């Protein structure tokens, strides 16, 4: 039972870290591309969706 809780904690932590990294990456790509804080925030909210879009488009 304890092992299951540890696995759930690990998965949650990994997902949260991935989402945070995706947001940061999206914001950096957006700001470098568009030089706009507003677009960077918007693309940060989109997170991995914008990163994948950028990779496929450019």
pLDDT digits (tens, 9 = 90+) for 2-56: 677 777 777 777 777 777 899 999 999 999 999 999 999 999 999 999 999 999 9
Q: What is the pLDDT of residue 51?
A: 96
Q: What is the pLDDT of residue 35?
A: 97
- In our burial notation (b when 16+ CB lie closer than 10 A, e otherwise), range 8-24 reads eeeeeeeeeeeeeebbe
- pLDDT of residue 1 exceeding 70: no
Complete DSSP assignment for 7-35: HHHHHHHHHHHHHHHHHHHHHHHHHHHH-
Q: What is the pLDDT of residue 50?
A: 97
């Amino acid at each position: 039972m304890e092992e299951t809780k540890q696995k759930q904690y690990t998965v949650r932590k990994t997902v949260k870290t991935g989402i945070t990294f995706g947001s940061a990456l999206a914001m950096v790509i957006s700001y470098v591309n568009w030089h706009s804080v507003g677009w960077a925030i918007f693309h940060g909210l989109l997170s991995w969706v914008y990163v994948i879009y950028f990779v496929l488009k450019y």
